[in-house]
Amino acid sequence: MLSIVNSFGLNGLNGYLVKVEVDVNRGLPSYDVVGLADVSIKESKQRIGSAVKNQGFSYPNEKIIINLAPADTKKEGSLYDLPISIGVLSATSQIRALKEVLGEFSFVGELSLDGSLRKIQGVLPILISARSLGIKKVVIPLGNASEASFIDGLEVFPVSSLKEVVHFLNGELNISPVKNVSYDYIKSHSKMSGDFAMVKGQASAKRALEISAAGGHNVLLIGPPGSGKTMLARAFPSILPDMTFEEALETTKIHSIAGCLDSNVGILTQRPFRSPHHTSSAVALTGGGSKIKPGEISLAHNGVLFLDEFPEYSRQTVESLRQPMEDGTITISRSMNTVEYPANFVLIASMNPCPCGNYGSTQKKCKCSPNQIHNYLSKLSGPLMDRIDMYIEVDGVSYSDISSEIHEESSVEIKKRVDKARQVQVERFDKKKIYSNSKMTNEMIKKYCKIDDNCNTLLSRAFESLKLTARAYNRILKVARTIADLDGSDEIQQEHLIEAINYRSIDEKYLA
């Protein structure tokens, strides 16, 4: 007897409908899966057989053929355990629900040997895709219920075991769908770690990071060890604008696929802060692998990617950042598939200026030779450094700064100014699908970053003396536009441009 059950597969961030066709007929006992199934799906025979028996049902001792359609698309993961087992039980008349009723549902879930359902990865993008395809009812594992609570227009039934699903479909058990939870309520109960009030001194660095947060600009912190670079970077997310619900959903989809989502909350309420170790590989950073999982730059989407000890990363790893820093996406191609993940992040990188760390410091003497300093700084290529908007010099903190009882400005106060400037940008780029100055195209720069003759002369001199590139020229104008927004100015003034140029002026000192 043939049974057809709806399920879903994942291709990047998008789900697609999979028809699980189960045919149980007389013949020598066998279990065959066709339709480009991976090893974890073919191994489902053992899990499903044990689960069906341990839940008190009869497992057919017959010829079982399972087809996963569309047959030309590779299927991966253990999420097909539940729909296959439902198909087997329906084909053997142990589920009495009519085909029309069964066709209203879609099923995803991994089975344990005892028949209980385990949490799976990627439920959120599956549910969003199911809703867009007109699916009204989805059965998922109980462990994924929190992810489903933010999706409306869809009835999602959380279950803990195979027996519950069968009794539910047979009308012997009533299961209530997941209740919707307000995103604003969850966000109001979340706490942000890090505060600029805890960072003593470093007023110029704090000012630069405020500009970065307001315009979404990439930053490189350069200074000796112990000067507070890491503390500044870790406090940076606390002044970023709040995520919108759309941003939260998009970011949560990536974390759901990667399997690093907090199951107790079900959605990200704070912008992600990713800080991979400098021994991380290029694949770990960009994503990939046999199943093409998102990497650190995609997990940092709509948030911050912090790369501490920047020159210590391998050349291949840091150079892989160049394309996603420009495009805001990363395309990963393998022999069987090509996946595009979003990678719209703010890069905060930190580095020592030399092997001993004290080159350029006013407090300690550098012990490195000019050749050692050159070799250390040359680990970072010119094209990569050109994609960073602001270079910030961070020197050591004096004892008087550390011991001072003066209260530093808190992140809450800084964030108010950032939010105000970002709102100006949202209104400026209305309906253009960008939300910050850092994402302006060349056409937008010409329109929104107009400067007068005095500013033009100033920028021309800086372009020649600092030997800037066309990309650096555009980035200076973008930063100047953000500084003007923070100042509440409609036009870029000379002081705004001077400050933006100063954030590129240490090219000559460190990177020439």
227 confidence band (pLDDT: 50, 70, 90): confident
Q: Are residues 202 and 313 in the same domain?
A: yes
Strands (E), 143-209: 155-159
Q: Are residues 473 and 356 in the same domain?
A: no
| CATH code assigned at 23 | 3.30.230.10
408 confidence band (pLDDT: 50, 70, 90): confident
Q: Of the candidates 382, 399, 425, which is a domain's last residue?
A: 425
Q: Are residues 337 and 463 in the same domain?
A: no
**For position 508, what pLDDT does the model report?**
59
Q: Are residues 351 and 474 in the same domain?
A: no
Q: Are residues 157 and 223 in the same domain?
A: no
Q: Are residues 19 and 143 in the same domain?
A: yes
Q: Of the candidates 401, 425, 449, which is a domain's last residue?
A: 425
Is 178 part of any domain?
Answer: no
125 confidence band (pLDDT: 50, 70, 90): very high
CA dihedral 138, 141, 146, 151 (to 10 degrees): -10
Strands (E), 120-238: 137-141, 155-159, 219-222
User: Half-sphere exposure of 231 toward its Cβ, with a 13 Å CA cutoff?
Assistant: 18
**For position 184, what pLDDT does the model report?**
72
Instruction: Indicate the pairing of strand 137-141 with strand 155-159.
Output: parallel
Tokens 């001199």 locate to 461
Is 140 part of any domain?
Answer: yes
Distance CA(276)–CA(274), nearest Å, equals: 6
pLDDT tens-digit map of 126-161: 999 999 999 999 999 999 999 999 888 899 999 999
Residue 483: domain span? 440-512
For residue 416, what is the enclosing H or E element?
helix 411-428
333 confidence band (pLDDT: 50, 70, 90): confident
Report the 10 Å Cβ neighbour count for 143: 18
Section 416-440 average pLDDT: 93
Tokens 């039934």 locate to 157
Distance CA(449)–CA(474), nearest Å, equals: 9
Is 400 part of any domain?
Answer: yes
Q: Give start and end residues of each alpha helix (H) in 280-381.
A: 282-286, 296-299, 315-319, 322-327, 370-377
> Does the pLDDT at position 189 exceed 70?
no
Is 186 part of any domain?
Answer: no
Section 451-459 average pLDDT: 95
Q: Are residues 78 and 134 in the same domain?
A: yes
- Contact residues for 358 (Cβ-Cβ < 8 A; gap 6+): 224, 364, 365, 366, 367
Q: Are residues 444 and 415 in the same domain?
A: no
Q: Are residues 240 and 375 in the same domain?
A: yes
Q: Are residues 452 and 402 in the same domain?
A: no
Q: Are residues 128 and 232 in the same domain?
A: no
Q: Are residues 292 and 373 in the same domain?
A: yes
pLDDT tens-digit map of 335-390: 778 899 999 999 999 999 899 988 878 788 899 998 998 888 888 888 999 999 99
Sheet of strand 14-25, all strands in order from the earlier edge strand to the far edge: 30-34, 63-69, 14-25, 2-11, 105-107, 137-141, 155-159
**Count: domains in the chain:** 3
Instruction: Indicate the pairing of strand 155-159 with strand 304-307.
Output: unpaired
